[in-house]
Amino acid sequence: MSFAARIKRLASETAIYGVSSVFARLINFLLFPFYSHVFIPGEYGLVSTVFAMFIFLNVVYQYGMESAYLKFASDADHDGMGASRSRTFSTALLSLVGT
């Protein structure tokens, strides 16, 4: 596969997986007027705090697994299946123990 084809594939897959993040932020932006009219300032502050905690926990939860998977996927072409399975198992085990 040529370099240009790989870049095109990467861009299309990134767009597919990135749509959910953009969609969630768009919904949050569209709901802002509703939240500001329905909630009193103290309640809106509580909602904002909860959303901030969700963002923080999302970062902690992801734990860099996207980068680890991409590294694994790029190395899988060069190794035999035994090494790939061993890495998959050890990554899953470390993630389970670490969280």
Any residues with CB less than 8 A from the CB of 9 and at least 6 apart, and which?
1
| Alpha-carbon gap, residue 57 to 95, rounded angstroms | 15
Q: What proportion of the chain, given as a percentage, has pLDDT over 70?
A: 67
Domain borders along the chain are: 1-62, 64-99
Any residues with CB less than 8 A from the CB of 51 and at least 6 apart, and which?
28
Q: Who wins on pLDDT, 45 or 77? A: 45
- Residue 76 — very low, low, confident or very high, per pLDDT cuts 50/70/90? low
- Residue 30 — very low, low, confident or very high, per pLDDT cuts 50/70/90? very high
- Please state the rounded mean pLDDT for residues 80-91: 66
Output the pTM of the full model. 0.42
